[in-house]
Each structure stands twice: as structure tokens, then as C-alpha cells.
Structure 1
């Protein structure tokens, strides 16, 4: 069965070069971009901070906070205990308007973008466009969306993950239920594809939470990555950046359908209805 367009992988052509240096997921050098907008204050921010701490496995890991602006990146181990705090608006595209953040992404083996998903459509599209323009679309990314678990994955606001995932070459979408700490795999492509239950060629069923690969916490996810030997090409061995492959009109039409009918692609989803958190 053909994959949904947004789950299709962009495969690099075969190379005769030697295999570049690899790093396991946990020990790979990471750049964390943490949503510090006002909607993350409290439990959401604490859940984000726990994920950053749990995925931090390299002493060179760096971090920034973003809301309506992006702060200067810092070495993660040097940030104060009260660093993770929320305020301001929500514009993830500011990450890729901050030259120092762009440089940290390029120097990292992967970057981790955490957010509660409460983001306007314009900013989501602009983030994806800028990733191509500044040539970081080829850098592996983990899109970690933190929030309340709605009645089904398709009723949860994961629009930022879907849009960026479609353009990226090597990407992972995780949803974290802030109340339980459980992680759910929404999408995986490139080197992350083996994490899908069906294997690298199967699509992920978003009709129910029970159908998704689930992890009790970040440590369980990291352990599974180790078991599957999920390794990432280190930054110094990555191929020279090239523009992402366009998915064409078919993708544009599919995105409109996805965003309007299946994933409630809106900036402020309705609260308190029958599809609210379970």
C-alpha cells in the first residue's frame, strides 16, 4: 500500500564513499530548541525540561529557548536550574532567523525541537521554508510535541510535526503525554524508520493511541534505539547540504486535506469538546 505523502522518505542516491562516522542516538551531539511561549508555562514546560535532560548524552549538547524570539544558544550543562520558563508568543521560525542557532544546528548530529503544538499556520510553514533556505533541512530532527492526550492521535494538534516531517530527509515525530510522561511515535523516516512497528516500509496507523509504538518514558525510548542500533551520521561526516526535494502539487493538495480535515490544522484548537484530553 502506498505511503501517505507526508510519510514518504527522501532517499539519497548511493555513494561510493566510505561510511562516515556514526553516533548512537543518545550520545549524538544535539541542539535543543525549547518552546518557551506562554502556553507552555507549568506542566508542559516541566515535561519539556525532563525530555531535554533525559535525551542529553553529549557534553557538547547546546540549548536555546524560543517564543516570539530566539535566545542565544548555550551549552546545556551550563544553564541555571531555573532556565526553563515560559512567556511570550509562539514563532518557531525565529529559531532559523537566529544565526547562532543555525550554526549550532549545522554543528550538531541532530536537533530536537520541542513544543506544545499551539502554533499558527503561518509560522509552521515559514519554519519549513527557512529550513530549506538556510540549508539545515538535511540535518536529522526530532520533533517532540508535548501536550494532553486527546481521544485519538488524529485529533491532536501535530501540524508542526507533519509539515516539517514531509520536507525533512531524516526525521522523527514523538508525542509526549505530559500527564503520564509516555511517548508515542507519530512518524519516522530516514535512519529513524526502523522504529516503526511495521518496519521501514510501513506507514503508522494514527486512528488510535493503542496502534502507535509507545514508550513509558525517554529512557525506554533510548533503550529501544540502542536495541535497533539507531545511529546518526556525525556532523563532520554529513554530505554537503542541498535543497530538499520538492514533493510537487500532489503534496500541496494532500497537505491541505490533512490540515483541514484530519489533523485540525488551526492555531487555537477548540477546548472542552468531546475530543478533549482523555
Structure 2
């Protein structure tokens, strides 16, 4: 009898071990999946960072050869690289301003007011997001040709504002529809004018959605290639420069610019997180 009890006691921890492992896996599987996804997203950026310090023997920067900081010391050493980068930044900035202003007004109109064409406007807003970029690019090129508009900076800007508009409307509209209307009513009860209510209550609450739409517009405009390629003419933006360089040899400076843009984006996100945490502590 004593031997039988000893055997049962020795088997009990072994039986509990798999259950403990399964419980640990269930508790941490979401974290593990998140870390794996984050690593999958960051890995290409790390490759770009590493190869920005490479000194290839030939024209193509696809194999590691020698460590060098020459590209970082002279990022504009390739002809037209910094010019195309400045053009893309300028286009992205103006496209962000135009799409954010127009998209915010459209989002407020769709979320706050009811009119006959409201459902039709909602459908039209989502068309640029659902339509293939090649089809949209060819349609815009046909429109500009029929109107006799010369391809260049302005045709690219019009195209960028058009496809960025949908993303701004979607982000701002979601934020506006989640707002509590009683806050605006309370401001009106306290004798605030419509302008004061909008500037001090409505706009600060909608600001995160507006900022999200603006950041998304900037990223989409700066990174766009297909629509830009159809409507640029002889104008060369940074994505077009990268594509053209890849045909005859990718300079290391492209990795430098890509790494710098990635680091700036990470710093902006960290700054936003720190600002949000400080606001939570103050409140």
C-alpha cells in the first residue's frame, strides 16, 4: 500500500507539468505572436540599416563587402538623389495639407449632417481605396491628357490629394462619430459661441483622428510610385529615382535615406507616446 501511494505521488508532478506549460503558452501566445509580427516588420528595415554601411565592389548593393561610412558622410553624393527627395517631401507636405483640410470638412459633413447624396458620397469616398492603383493612375492620366494639362508637379499633387483624401475622411469620420455630443451641448449651455465650441471642444477631441489621417497621407504620398509614374511626365520623385537606380545599380545612399526616414518615423512615434503618457499622468 505504501509503495502504491509513493508511485502516485511521483507521477503527480509529471502530470501537472504539461498543464502548466499549456497555461503558460495560453497566457503568452498573444505576446509571442505580437513579437514575431514586430520582428517580421522590422527585419527589412534592419537590412536597409546594415547595408547603408556597406561599400560594394560593383554597382549593386546586394551583398556585404566592406564596412564604410562614406555614404553617411555624403548622402547626396549621387546625382539627382537629394533633388528627387526634396521634391517628394514637398509633394507629400502639400498633399497632406490639402487632403487633411478637405478630408476633415468632408468627414464632419458626413458624420454630422444628413442630405440626399450622403450615401452616394460615402460610396465615392471609398472608391479610391478599393480601386487598383494602376486603373486609377491610367484614368487620371487620360483625364489630364484630354484636358490638355501638362504632366509635372501639379498633376502629381492633384493625384496625391485625390487618393489621400479617402484615408483622411475615414480616420476623421471614425473619430467624429465616436464623440459624445453632450460635451458640445455643455459648452453651449455655458454660453460658448459656435466658433468657441468648435475650437475648444470639438477640434481638440477630433485632433487624434485628424493627426492620424495627416500622417497616413504624408506616408502614402511620399511612398507612392504607380500613380506618380503615370502622371509625372519628366518629373522624378524619390520612389521613381529608386526604381530607376535599381535598373542599373542601387547606390548605398538610397539605404542611408531610407534608414534616416525610418529613424525619424520611430522618433515621432516615441515622442507621441511620451506626450500621451505625460497627459495621462497629469490627468
The question of a shared fold, defined as TM-score above 0.5 by the shorter chain, is answered with no
Higher strand share: 1
Q: Which has the higher contact order (CA 8 A, sep 6+)?
A: 2
- Rg larger in structure: 2
- What is the TM-score with the length of structure 2 in the denominator? 0.26
TM-score where L is the length of structure 1: 0.27
